Structure 1
């Protein structure tokens, strides 16, 4: 059986009569009672390629960054994240129910001594937190799998229209007004509307999308797709960075994206997508996994600064590129959608002394800022400190024909913090950092 045929057979007829029959005979599954009835390989693949990342809160990642990262707000230890990641995998692949997941959640929390998380103090709070993790991951994985299925070229040929379905998986007790208004809306699969309105469109949103053929539209009495609704927007404050951003009306902050779209369309090429495992024992160089070929070089647009300036002037030049300053730090979202703190600590030693001139980076700080703002690749990998303890490194790499940029951040205690920013003095040093999991790749400028 071809992939396209399997997908087409998995998609039920989508005319009005079939929807009516399904509502009466087979109500949509309720997450409070169990998971999805059938495992979907695309949903399993989507979940398993995610890189486990520690975060302080859900807002530390932009919505589309969750396509590549598995996070649980407040979970900062990899062993804890690994346990939760495995429990969610069992829900997606094996169909464990919410009550079963709650039992696993309680066991994982107790085993790893996780404390201080929202909902911990009461039985109702613990049940709510388990439900958030369970439903959010199942809903988005299922949506991503469906997106991958419905955008398959062979499927698009026969079912090029998508219908928005309010309450597709369960009848919500408190329907969102805009979601009800979109119910039954039919647009082409590649319409701009779906980039921000493809469900789920908020916490516990149970909306979905059904693909339609031209014959389906005819049976429903439609000559063609509908007129799209007006693109009403509202301004909200990004709780992680403080920036004012626009979000479509009817969609909660952080949900204005199509789950799985970045994964399906290759923000990171599919052949390079993989989870991040705990640091393995050191292997001989000949047995190490090789990094992909380096992207094509791009000349920097930033200028070099004059030599001999006070160190704080160089630091200030870098910081102002992000709206920060000496004595003023900011939270900034990188190209992958992750929050990164930007402060003068990037250029200071543990004792507080300036280290701007280290490795000749003082005159090149604007190029380092450009590397962070417009990288070719973002990698995440394990490393060990002097005491042998594991910690995470995130590396931002920018290629140029004659010079290379490099910015590195690490997870330390409770937050991502910058630890160094410099042009490497040896190509081998830079290549060493192109290991682990490729979190993001500039697929536009680096091809």
Structure 2
């Protein structure tokens, strides 16, 4: 089998599925959540009401389903923000779009990489930072580190690890690790991801809402049973 990193994957379905498991809620509700619970939720500083958050949430889902570019997403949400009386700068919308898309697509990647058949063939993951002038020093420090897929490192450092983070994970077979002279790490680094980004997609893919306050847990359960619409 060829190295997994050379196989073109299109995690669209998994990305959409991941997004639909997140529960939209008002900024105040979101701020009250514990860090683990926030992995199951969505809110945005660009919206101050639960209704507006729900509209932004749907716009993001549509963008993921349609494969929209940022420009297309921006055009679709411009009227949404203007009608609600929000003064939103383009870079704010771009940050929202990039962060959400990276979160969703990397969660889709996580779903694929944790398939038992894939894990058997590619049991190691390598952190891959972009390495340009926009890469955060803490993220660059992780670049090239290889850990077993089940190592606790990935519970905190599976990308994205900050707003606008472009880091990703590369799957490695045992032969690929050996051939490329890579070292499999044992100890986790002392560095931590950016605040609010130290959880793995596993928290969402395992749909248990016990950690949510009861009203939000009930809403999440209804969403899971009834679907997004």
Cα distance, 1:100–1:143 mapped onto 2, change above 3 Å: same
Alignment counterpart, residue 23 of structure 2, candidates 44, 51, 57: 51
Choose from 139, 153, 156 the match for 1:193. 153
Match of 2:185 in 1: 226
Distance 1:379 1:60 in 2: 13
1:103 paired to 2:103:
no
Q: Does the Cα contact within 8 Å between 1:160 and 1:189 map onto a contact in 2? A: yes
Query: Following TM superposition, by how much is the alpha carbon of 1:63 offset from its aligned partner in structure 2, in angstroms?
Result: 4.3
Aligned pairs for 1:41-440 (under 5 A) are: 41-56=13-28, 59-73=31-45, 75-111=47-83, 113-115=84-86, 120=87, 126-167=89-130, 172-222=132-182, 225-229=184-188, 231-232=189-190, 249-258=191-200, 260-268=201-209, 335-336=211-212, 378-380=213-215, 394=216, 436-438=219-221
CA distance in 2, matches of 1:261, 1:155: 16
List per-residue Cα deviations over 1:163-211 (Å, max 9, x = no partner): 00011xxx54332222222211111001111111111111111111111
SS in 2 for 1:267: coil
Q: Which has the higher helix share?
A: 2
Cα separation, partners in 2 of 1:49 and 1:178, compared to 1, 3 Å: closer
| CA shift digits 1:347-406 (9 cap, x unpaired) | xxxxxxxxxxxxxxxxxxxxxxxxxxxxxxx443xxxxxxxxxxxxx57xxxxxxxxxxx
* Alpha-carbon separation, structure 2, partners of 1:9 and 1:85: 38
Provide structure 1 residue ranges, at least 5 long, that are not aligned to the other structure: 1-7, 15-21, 23-36, 233-248, 270-334, 337-377, 381-393, 396-434, 440-447
Deviations 1:246-284 (A, max 9, x none): xxx3521111111x2112234349xxxxxxxxxxxxxxx
Change (3 A) 1:250 1:263: closer
Q: In structure 2, the residue corresponding to 1:437 is in which secondary structure?
A: helix
Equivalent residue of 2:127, what SS? strand
Higher relative contact order structure (alpha carbons within 8 Å, sequence separation ≥ 6): 2
Matched-pair contact (CA < 8 Å) for 2:127–2:144: yes
Output the CA distance in 2 between the equivalents of 1:191 and 1:70: 27
| Greater Rg by CA | 1
Query: In structure 1, how many angstroms separate the alpha carbons of the residues matched to 2:108 and 2:169?
Result: 12
Distance 1:216 1:65, change over 3 A: same
**8 Å CA contact retained: 1:177, 1:250:** no
Q: CA deviation at 1:77?
A: 3.4
Cα–Cα, structure 1 residues 58 and 49, in superposed 2: closer, same or farther, change >3 Å? Answer: closer
**How far apart, in 2, do the equivalents of 1:219 and 1:200 lie?**
28
Distance 1:156 1:268, change over 3 A: farther
Structure 2 Cα separation of the partners of residues 95 and 225 of structure 1: 36
Determine which structure has the larger strand proportion and give its number. Answer: 1
Extract unaligned runs of 5+ from structure 2: 223-229
CA distance in 2, matches of 1:46, 1:53: 16
Alpha-carbon distance in structure 2 between the residues aligned to 1:135 and 1:81: 17
* Rounded Cα–Cα distance in structure 1 between residues aligned with 2:81 and 2:105: 25
**1:185-241 deviations in Å (ceiling 9; x for gaps):** 11100111111111111111111111111121122124x623435x42xxxxxxxxx
Instruction: State the superposition RMSD in angstroms.
Output: 3.0
Task: Provide the aligned length of Structure 1 versus Structure 2.
Answer: 222
For 1:38 and 1:114, locate their aligned partners in 2 and report how far apart those are by CA, in whole Å: 37
